Homo-oligomer: A and B are copies of this chain.
Amino acid sequence: MPSTELIPRAARGEIPAIARLISRAEAGMPEARPALAEIYKRAGKAHVIGITGVPGSGKSTLVAALAARLRATGGKVGVVAVDPSSPYSGGAILGDRIRMTELAQDPGVYIRSMATRGAMGGMARATLDAVDILDVGGFNTIIIETVGVGQDEVEIAKASHTTIVVSAPGLGDEIQAIKAGMLEIADIHIVSKCDRSDANRTLTDLKQMLTMGVRAGVASEWPVRVVGISSLNGEGFDELLEAIAKHRAFFKDSASGTQRRLAIAGFRLEKTAENLLIERFQQSAAALTPALAAKLSARQGDPYSLARELLAASLA
């Protein structure tokens, strides 16, 4: 079925149509682009929450628990996971929808692992396309989960309305968010696994870091929140939901929110352009590469000068 014909079905919330559109966005199918363009124009209603944290920070468990909580407050909840270590999929590999004990039976929750990586700019582009598809499908809250490693992954989490960074006790002496350069992107910090005895130190450290003005330079009136969470005993989730609701209102009505929307649009635009550019390059380079690769292999030139030759020839 042509992608444009899937739109009305997706808009009625039909999961098979939504899943197929996301797969096509993920694959970067040119055929799907007019449909994705149309979907973009219809989207923009959902609240998008980006959640990131280093591997082992417990963010996938947290995302599942948060999805269940958000679902309980009404409205549909979508999750787009860009996380190779995500347990949903054993590595974003098993694809599509997973069977999570409580959530899997609920048609109002849709969890999707994105396998797209490697395709230049493609992961960010496909993830944001997927968010739009869920948005049009009537999902009121959409969580983007990314592993907090690598610039692209962190930037995708940042390309959301409310960005949450998860740290966990016991992963090392220091706050993981600092190591990963994620401290300043968080609207809300979560310390997970707060049932553990060493969680208090992580909470204290994090609050102290924030007081020391690590977020200096980020122009915002939003007072960054630090919330301790236990996915095991449910501790902290009420506070988290309240913080999310507050930030949502702030995002909607503040100058910072407007600035943020522009930054997200700029990021999306550049990633989409990079994706199209690489696609164009790869098509024209395919025929030109073998001869230059033979030269490179024989060390009759270096990767940089031969790459410049390849670029000049393929873009000519």
The interface of chain A, by Cβ under 8 A from chain B, is 33, 36-38, 40-41, 44, 54-55, 84-85, 90-94, 115, 117-121, 125, 128-129, 147-153, 155, 171-172, 176, 179-180, 261-266, 268-270, 272-278, 281-282, 285, 289-290, 292-294, 296-297, 299, 302-308, 310-311, 314-315
Contacts and interface: CB of A to CB of B under 8 A. Distances in A.
Nearest to A286: B270
B54 A90 contact: yes
15 contacts: A37-B303, A37-B304, A54-B91, A84-B150, A91-B149, A91-B180, A120-B278, A121-B278, A265-B294, A269-B307, A270-B289, A272-B307, A273-B281, A273-B311, A278-B278
Contacts of A118: 150-153, 155
A198 B66 CA distance: 35
A296 B278 contact: no
A93 B293 contact: no
A176 B117 contact: no
Given A276-B311, A285-B270, A296-B268, A117 B150 contact: yes
Contact of A265 (B85, B150, B297): B297
A144 to B, nearest CB: 16
Contacts of A179: 90-91, 93-94
B277 A290 contact: no
